[in-house]
Chain A
Amino acid sequence: MDDIPPYPPIDPTTFDLIVIGTGLPGSIIAAAASTASKSVLHIDPNPFYGSHFSSLPLADLPSFLSSHSTSPSPPRSVSSEEHHDFSLLGLAARPIYSSIDISSFSPDLIDQFSRKFILDVAGPRVFFCADKSIELILNTGANQYMEFKSIDATFVGDSKGNLLNVPDSRAAIFKDKSLGLMEKNLLMRFFKLVQGHLADEQDVKISDEDLQSPFVDFLNKMGLPPKIKSFILYAIAMADYDQEDTGVCGDLLKTKDGIDQLALYNASIGRFQNASGALLYPIYGQGELSQAFCRRAAVKGCVYVLRMPVSALLVDKDTGCYKGVRLASGQDIFSQKLILDPTFKVTLPSGSSPSPPLQAKLPFFSPKDDRGKVVRGICITKTSLKPDMSNFLVVYPPRSLFPEQVTSIRLLQIASNLAVCPPGMFVLYISALCNDDDQGKKLIHAVTKTLLTVPPPINSESSAAVQIKTAESGCAVQDETAESGSTGPSDPGEGKPTLLWSALYSQELTLGQVDFICSTPMPDGKLNYDDLIDAAVKLFKEIYPEDEFFPQTSSENREDDGDGDAFPET
Chain B
Amino acid sequence: MHGRPRKAPKPEDEAASAAKAQKLRALQTQFFSFHHDQIYTKEAVELSAKLLEINPESYTAWNYRKLAVEHYLSQPECDPDSVKSVLDDELKVVESALRQNFKSYGAWHHRKWVLSKGHSSINHELRLLDKFQKADSRNFHAWNYRRFVAELMNRSEQDELKYTEDMIYTNFSNYSAWHNRSVLLSALLEKKAEGFLLKENVLPEEYEFIHQAIFTDPDDQSGWFYNLWLLDQTVTTDSPLLVSTWPTCGSDVLIMGDGCQNGSFSPFTTLLSDSGSFPIILYFNQPVEGVNSSTVTIECGFDKNGYLHWEPLSVSNSQAAQVWVAHLKFPTPELDSSVEVRVGHSKGIISTRGFQYCHPSTFSFNVHVQHVERDSFQVSVAESILWREENFKIYRAQSEESIPIASFDQLCIKNGHESTASNWRTEALAKEIECFRELLSLMDCKIGKLTLARLLMAYDAMSFPFATKLVHSEEVLELYNDLMKLDPTHHRYYKDEHSLVLLQKMTSSKESLLQHCFQYKDSVSSVIGNLICLRLNNLSLSRIGAFEKLLWVQMLDLSHNELQSIEGLEAMQLLSWLGLGNNKLGSVTALEPLRKLKSLRVLDISYNQIGDHSIDTTRYLCSSPLSHSVGSELNKDETAIIDAALVNYLEAFYMLKDLNLNQLDIVGNTIADETFKSALVKIMPTLKRLDGKVLD
Contacts and interface: CB of A to CB of B under 8 A. Distances in A.
Given A181-B438, A182-B438, A182-B442, A188 B171 contact: no
Nearest to B169: A175
Interface in B103-136: none
A174 B169 CA distance: 7
A171 B215 contact: no
B216 A174 contact: yes
Interface string B203-223: 000000001110111100000
B218 A185 contact: yes
A174 B442 contact: no
A184 interface: yes
A170 B216 contact: yes
Nearest to A173: B216
A173 B216 CA distance: 7
A173 B211 CA distance: 12
Contacts of B211: 181
Contact of A185 (B170, B171, B172, B442): B442
Interface residues on A, range: 10 to 19
B135 to A, nearest CB: 11
B208 to A, nearest CB: 9
Contact of B172 (A174, A182, A186): A174
Contacts of B539: none
B215 A181 contact: yes
A208 to B, nearest CB: 25
Interface string B560-604: 000000000000000000000000000000000000000000000
Interface residues of B, number: 16
Contact of A171 (B171, B218, B439, B442): B171
A71 B508 CA distance: 93
A541 interface: no
A178 to B, nearest CB: 12
A205 interface: no
B695 interface: no
B172 A184 contact: no
B212 A181 contact: yes
B442 A188 contact: no
Contacts of A192: 217
Contact of A184 (B170, B171, B216): B216
B439 to A, nearest CB: 7
Contact of B439 (A170, A185, A188): A185
Contact of B217 (A181, A182, A186, A188): A188
Contacts of B169: 171, 174-175
A171 B168 CA distance: 9
Best-surrounded residue of B172, B211, B212, B213 (most CB of chain A within 10 A): B212
Interface in B428-471: 435, 438-439, 442-443
Contacts of A173: 216
Given A182-B438, A186-B442, A174 B212 contact: yes
Contacts of B215: 181-182, 184-185, 188
Contacts of A361: none
B468 to A, nearest CB: 34
A548 to B, nearest CB: 31
B172 A171 contact: yes
A189 interface: yes
A185 B170 CA distance: 18
A171 B166 CA distance: 11
Given A170-B217, A174-B169, A185 B212 contact: no
A188 B212 CA distance: 11
Interface string A154-184: 0000000000000000110111000001101
B438 A188 contact: no
A188 B173 CA distance: 14
A181 B435 contact: yes
B176 to A, nearest CB: 16
A184 B439 CA distance: 11
Interface string B403-442: 0000000000000000000000000000000010011001
Contacts of B435: 181
B385 to A, nearest CB: 56
A179 to B, nearest CB: 9
A1 to B, nearest CB: 61
A323 to B, nearest CB: 57
Contacts of B213: 174
Nearest to B209: A174
B277 to A, nearest CB: 58
A402 B379 CA distance: 97
Best-surrounded residue of B218, B435, B442 (most CB of chain A within 10 A): B442
Contacts of A184: 212, 215-216
A153 B212 CA distance: 20
Contact of B443 (A170, A174, A189): A189
Interface in A397-428: none
A174 B167 CA distance: 12
A352 B172 CA distance: 76
Interface in B626-676: none
Contacts of A186: 442
B415 to A, nearest CB: 37
A150 to B, nearest CB: 15
B162 to A, nearest CB: 15
A192 B211 CA distance: 18
Interface in B353-402: none
B388 to A, nearest CB: 53
Contacts of B170: 171
Contacts of B442: 182, 185-186
Contacts of A185: 215-216, 218, 439, 442-443
Interface in B186-216: 211-213, 215-216
Best-surrounded residue of A174, A186, A188 (most CB of chain B within 10 A): A174
Nearest to B212: A174
A181 B214 CA distance: 9
Contacts of A189: 443
Interface in A65-79: none
A42 B435 CA distance: 65
Interface in A186-218: 186, 188-189, 192
Contacts of A181: 211-212, 215, 435, 438-439
A189 B171 CA distance: 17
Contacts of B172: 170-171, 174
Nearest to A174: B216
B437 to A, nearest CB: 12
Best-surrounded residue of A170, A185, A192 (most CB of chain B within 10 A): A185
A71 to B, nearest CB: 57
Contacts of A171: 169-172
B138 to A, nearest CB: 14
A175 to B, nearest CB: 5
Contacts of A174: 169, 172, 212-213, 216-217
B653 to A, nearest CB: 54
Contacts of B439: 181, 185
A184 B217 CA distance: 8
A170 B220 CA distance: 11
Best-surrounded residue of B169, B211, B216, B438 (most CB of chain A within 10 A): B216
A175 B172 CA distance: 10
Nearest to B217: A188
A176 to B, nearest CB: 8
Nearest to B220: A170
A465 to B, nearest CB: 47
A200 B645 CA distance: 64
Given A181-B211, A184-B215, 7 more contacts: A171-B171, A171-B172, A173-B216, A181-B215, A184-B212, A185-B216, A192-B217
Interface of A: 170-171, 173-175, 181-182, 184-186, 188-189, 192
Interface of B: 169-172, 211-213, 215-218, 435, 438-439, 442-443
7 contacts: A171-B169, A171-B170, A171-B172, A173-B216, A174-B212, A181-B435, A184-B215
| Across the A-B interface, the 5 shortest Cβ-Cβ residue pairs | A181-B215, A185-B215, A174-B216, A184-B216, A184-B215
